Structure 1
Amino acid sequence: MKVLFLSENYYNDEYANITGSIYQSYLIAKFLSQKGFKIMYVSLSKIPRSFKENDNFEVYLIKEKNNVFLSFFEVLKFIRNLEFDLVYTRGRSYLLFIAFLTKKPYIFNSNAQEGLRKFKHISKLFYSKRNFFKKILLFIPFLILDFLVQIGIKNSHLIIVQNEFQRNEAKKIWKRDAIIIPNLQFRVKNYPKKSEKIVIWIGQITKWKNPQLFIEIAQKLKKYKFLMIGYGDLNLIEGYEKIENLKFLGKLKNEEINKILEKSWIILNTSEGESEGIPNVIIQAMMRGNVPICLNDDFSILEKYKIGFKVKNLNEMIEKIILLFENENLFFDYSKRAFEFSNNYFDYERNGNLYYQYFLEIFSKNS
């Protein structure tokens, strides 16, 4: 079977802005190529080129344009020359409408808690801090984008979600029975030695990731060590260098992050609102025995399986950090449960095979 992957960026593109969703698309494509599927992975890049990841995995990076609508036509024009049986796209973008236009069976994979909501772009525009005139200017383009996305979701042949919350959203909003397939990650064989009490934050430094909260917590808990890993708008964490117990490490390779996670105890997720799915960094951290403390969201798993905490504000986050550091027995109970649960629930082979089965099912039903 020939599968077309449509993605806004490619994981191994050094010029790309890499997110957890991009990484997941790459892992799924890689797994399916190893199972014998022919993968055509089409994405955007500052430097257009094509190459092979392996004999079954071809990558086409086409020239990124200055706006969404120009990119839309560029992708549409390019894929007309490709022959494929099935289309996969992850996250809500104009690529969903392109999948619809191919007239081939296609799979939509939600990547966020609010990924299935209607008029998401308009809603975000309305509540954004842009000035009034800019909102007026952007209203029509955002409205068009929302309509295109919604046509794509409505007509998809299968909706895949990350958790129970998203499945309920699919049923409530779209009257669709979505399939839950958790994210993929490579197993960690042995529970690591926890040598040092460290609180860690990993992510893109953007407003909605709320990194300032991590800075505030480090200032208030001077007796503990805090590490921050990421890249983006450093103005949002201005003054971090004055905090003695906080070290900012910048952008690191995945292997370097994993080594740090083997030592650290707690990972904080400070993102505002129920906007993320299950962040890859949270999964990576749990697979190495870190206990997540997350603002406003537990991704339908943390409290249910007693592997982490959902909190409402800064004070509650501080209370949980102190609780885990001062009560080591409690920490290791949560840590070892998080390790066991995540290495089973997010296993690369297990979840990759679920994708394989559903891709075959959709293909056979529509061929």
Structure 2
Amino acid sequence: MGNPIHSEIDFDADGRQVGYLRLPHSVHRSAYGWLPIPIGSVRNGAGPTVLLMAGNHGDEYEGQVLVSQLLREIEPQWVRGQLIFLPMANFPAAEAGLRVSPLDGGNLNRSFPGDPQGTPTAMIADYIEHTLLARAQYLVDLHSGGSSLLYHGANMLAIEPRDAEENARLRTLLAAFGLPRAFLHAPNPVHSATAARRQGALSIVTELGGGGVVQARLLREAREGLLHLLGAIGVLHGPLVPARPPGETHFYRVAGAPHYVYASERGVYEPLVELGEQVSAGQPAARIHFPDTPLKPPITVAFAAAGEVVCQRAMAAVQRGDCLFHLAQPDER
């Protein structure tokens, strides 16, 4: 059986269209109801297709604002090809302002390739991968740190390229976006970026600030970079395309587990370093305090590797297993 999600818009039609993906959802208050996932398309003849996605995690707001804004502002005559806009990809999570769906606990960016007959989150993942990404040559998935994490400024992520040709293409695209940092990481089969790769599309994922807020400077920087990228791809021309990217991109590599620091106990964490700081292996990262047991001394957790602090936990209260810091190392190859 196919995916039951039905689109109100015709992806093969030129012009601007806005509507909903209807995901059937039968509940007590609405036996024959459906969930309204916002979707838009601006299409004008032949050319590349780019999927602009936000709300993959529902508590990450910068991308939701930016995708909605560009859907309103980009005129069809400025497009060569197609832009598909998905501002609230995991709509139940985005509507609730949660990282995961309140309907099924589903984390969309841990759900690809999905299941057309599964839970709501699994059905959304299947539709994105096998309907939307199957049409696209590029994916831009706009993330931020959400409620629990705070990234150092505006960043990009991309999967490690498979060969020299893909490396050259990917680094050209990342430089055209022009955000300060680009992290290269190993593929994860359940992420949107790997879903795009399975469908033959190149992907760029952003991490823009976080902390459950929208920072005006980061939003402006991401908007300028995204518009310049769309111009470099050739899908967009006209007055919105900047003459140059917002800045120079520096490349970093994430070395897996050694680049993450986790809470070892439940308590209140005190960071001992700042975002953007260079740290060394063995350096103290944070102290965890126990206000409910005032005479118990705090414990110290340390970095396992050297690198730059690019992300830290936004909330002071922690439980064992919560991520406190994320590092990356420069890679200018």
TM-score (ref. length: structure 1): 0.27
Give the strand-richer structure, 1 or 2: 2
Give the helix-richer structure, 1 or 2: 1
TM-score (ref. length: structure 2): 0.29
